[in-house]
Amino acid sequence: MGILEVKNVGKRFGGLQALGDVNLSVQENTCHAIIGPNGAGKSTLLNCLIGKLIPDTGSVMFDGNSVLGRKPHEINQMGISRVFQTPEIFGDLTVFENVMIPCFAKRDGSFRMHAYESSDSEHDIIAQAEAMLDEVNMLDKRDVVASSLSRGDKRRLEMAMCLSQKPKLLLLDEPTAGMARADTNNTIELLKTIKAKGDITMCIIEHDMHVVFSLADKITVLAQGTPLVEDVPENIKGHPKVREAYLGE
């Protein structure tokens, strides 16, 4: 049994069958990549896992509990965090304030401004937020207003916000999309560090094969809403079905 078990999930948008019959089992504390051509249904699948979309058929079990019928914030509280394709950060707040929000939310179940009152537990949270910024190498940008960050730094900030929630499962939808090579390499290193701690499961959608092969323990290839192949990276590289899906060979 994996920490995430997707069984026979289907999703239709009007006349379009975006997901056919998806089965996926993600093992705890591994990195599972989902790859596939544009329009394959990867983001749709992720949206079904976090409650943004409700599948028409099938089941999604996380850590032994069904996520179906739960709201996104409830699923988040179950331990699933997601890094979005477009970073979702608070542009008007500083980097530090952005990370404080999920730290408080994790503690209190919601963010309340009076939580800024000084007390020992507030100091703990400040320390936690600083440690998190240090982990993503952004401590020097602590007081920078988030909207002025580079694209790569916005992603790192969003990653820090997700990690502050201490998720069991981190979902990443194209975390390096639109990044320059140097930022991509930094992201790979960051994700490797997170993975090396061994206490988090990652499910990553990614186009950049260098990123996928640097991180994934297992790869599922999705094409036209259906998993084509699932295997270890070594066996995916030259797989004829994968070449067919990508290259039309």
Where does this chain bind ligand ADP (CB under 6 A)?
13, 16, 18, 36, 38-44
First to last CA, the chain: 35
CA–CA separation, 211 and 63 (whole Å):
27
* Residue 141 DSSP class: G
CA–CA separation, 17 and 10 (whole Å):
8
Q: Nearest distance from residue 60's CB to ligand ADP, in Å?
A: 15
CA–CA separation, 23 and 227 (whole Å):
7
187 makes contact, choosing from ligand ADP, Mg ion, none, with CB < 5 to 8 Å by partner type, with none
184 binds Mg ion (CB under 5 A): no
41 makes contact, choosing from Mg ion, ligand ADP, none, with CB < 5 to 8 Å by partner type, with ligand ADP
Residue 53 or 145: the one with the smaller Cβ distance to Mg ion is 53
Residue 44 or 186: the one with the smaller Cβ distance to ligand ADP is 44
Q: Nearest distance from residue 243's CB to ligand ADP, in Å?
A: 18
82 makes contact, choosing from Mg ion, ligand ADP, none, with CB < 5 to 8 Å by partner type, with none
16 makes contact, choosing from ligand ADP, Mg ion, none, with CB < 5 to 8 Å by partner type, with ligand ADP
3-state DSSP: the chain helix, strand, coil percent, rounded to 5? Answer: 40, 25, 35
176 binds Mg ion (CB under 5 A): no
Residue 75, judged by CB atoms within 10 A of its CB (0-12, 13-18, 19+), counts as buried
13 makes contact, choosing from Mg ion, ligand ADP, none, with CB < 5 to 8 Å by partner type, with ligand ADP
39 makes contact, choosing from ligand ADP, Mg ion, none, with CB < 5 to 8 Å by partner type, with ligand ADP
Residue 13 or 116: the one with the smaller Cβ distance to ligand ADP is 13
At residue 81, the 3 state secondary structure works out as strand
Residue 27, judged by CB atoms within 10 A of its CB (0-12, 13-18, 19+), counts as middle
Residue 43 or 76: the one with the smaller Cβ distance to ligand ADP is 43
The count of chain residues that interact with Mg ion, using the rule CB under 5 A, is: 2
CB 227 within 8 A of CB 220: yes
Cα-to-chain-centroid distance, residue 85? 9
In the shown chain, the binding pattern of residues 37 to 66 toward Mg ion, with x for contact by CB under 5 A and - for none, equals: -----xx-----------------------
| Interacting residue ranges for Mg ion, rule: CB under 5 A | 42-43
